[in-house]
């Protein structure tokens, strides 16, 4: 499999995953507005560094699972239920919450980098997400688990994260007053995405029966 294709698969998939307004991209935009673009870019670099580690762990886990198809079958069904429950929660249960009015302290660029790493490390969804995605790509013969391909995918995922955060830095001024950034619409976006993943997983399970 071409390393370029693997890189862009990681980039595009992660890019799409980071599009909905969430903790990381909204924090990036807030830092940009209050402290300037340079510190927001440093924060984004910290986030992307953690994404490198998370994605690498996820792909190694996926490689292990690919050699144990019986475990994949079980996890695939568990994943479908989890994604379905998450979708139901965000579409029908989650309520709009009042955003915290706490201000971001004016810290150094170095602190912003480590703050980005820390905040990104709280996103435990990244590891199972990329594990599931890479297993799916491998099943479609769009990726293999050779070392070079793993590095290429991981680099693409980190780049995709940084690119989307970079877009938020410079375009948040244009969308900050739009309905797109409301908690209700964030919940709707997350619910639709997780619901789509659950549906795709269900279709794959049915095909294997």
Please provide residue 118's backbone torsions phi and psi, each rounded to the nearest 5 degrees. -65, -50
Helix 69-88 vs helix 183-208: crossing angle, to nearest 10: 150
Tell whether the model's pLDDT for residue 200 goes beyond 80. no
Per-residue pLDDT at 77: 77
Identify whether the C-beta of residue 13 lies closer than 8 Å to the C-beta of residue 157.
yes
Nearest 5°: CA angle at 30, between 24 and 34?
145
- Average pLDDT (137-143) is 86
Please provide residue 116's backbone torsions phi and psi, each rounded to the nearest 5 degrees. -65, -45
Q: Pick the residue with more confidence: 132 or 97?
A: 132
In tens, the pLDDT along 66-84 reads 787 677 677 667 777 877 8
Place of tokens 């877009």: 167
- Please, what is the end-to-end C-alpha distance for the chain in angstroms? 28
Identify whether the C-beta of residue 54 lies closer than 8 Å to the C-beta of residue 131.
no
pTM: 0.70
Coil/strand/helix, residue 44: helix
For 36: left if phi > 0, alpha if psi spans -120 to 50, otherwise beta; the answer is left
Per-residue pLDDT at 29: 83
Take residue 24 and report the two structure tokens written for it.
């990381």
Q: Pick the residue with more confidence: 122 or 48?
A: 48
Take residue 58 and report the two structure tokens written for it.
């996820």
Take residue 193 and report the two structure tokens written for it.
């995405």
Can you tell me the distance from the alpha carbon of 179 to that of 189, in angstroms, rounded to the nearest whole number?
12
Tell whether the model's pLDDT for residue 98 goes beyond 50. no
In tens, the pLDDT along 142-195 reads 888 999 999 999 999 999 999 999 998 887 766 555 555 455 655 666 667 667
3-class SS shares of the chain: helix, strand, coil, % to 5: 80, 0, 20
In tens, the pLDDT along 47-61 reads 999 999 999 999 998
Tell whether the model's pLDDT for residue 103 goes beyond 50. no
The residue length of the chain stands at 209
């Amino acid at each position: 499999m071409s390393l370029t294709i693997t890189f862009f698969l990681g980039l595009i998939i992660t890019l799409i995953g980071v599009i909905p307004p969430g903790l990381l991209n909204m924090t990036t935009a807030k830092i940009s507005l209050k402290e300037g673009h340079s510190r927001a870019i440093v924060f984004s670099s910290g986030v992307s560094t953690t994404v490198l580690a998370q994605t690498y762990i996820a792909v190694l886990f996926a490689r292990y699972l690919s050699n144990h198809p019986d475990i994949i079958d079980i996890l695939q069904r568990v994943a479908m239920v989890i994604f379905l429950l998450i979708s139901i929660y965000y579409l029908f249960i989650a309520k709009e919450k009042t955003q915290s009015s706490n201000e971001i302290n004016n810290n150094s660029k170095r602190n912003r980098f480590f703050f980005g790493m820390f905040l990104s490390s709280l996103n435990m969804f990244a590891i199972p997400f990329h594990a599931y995605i890479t297993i799916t790509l491998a099943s479609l013969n769009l990726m293999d688990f050779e070392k070079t391909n793993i590095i290429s995918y991981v680099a693409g995922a980190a780049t995709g994260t940084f690119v989307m955060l970079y877009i938020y830095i410079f375009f948040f001024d244009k969308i900050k007053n739009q309905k797109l950034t409301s908690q209700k619409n964030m919940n709707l976006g997350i619910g639709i995405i997780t619901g789509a993943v659950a549906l795709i997983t269900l279709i794959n399970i049915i095909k294997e029966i």
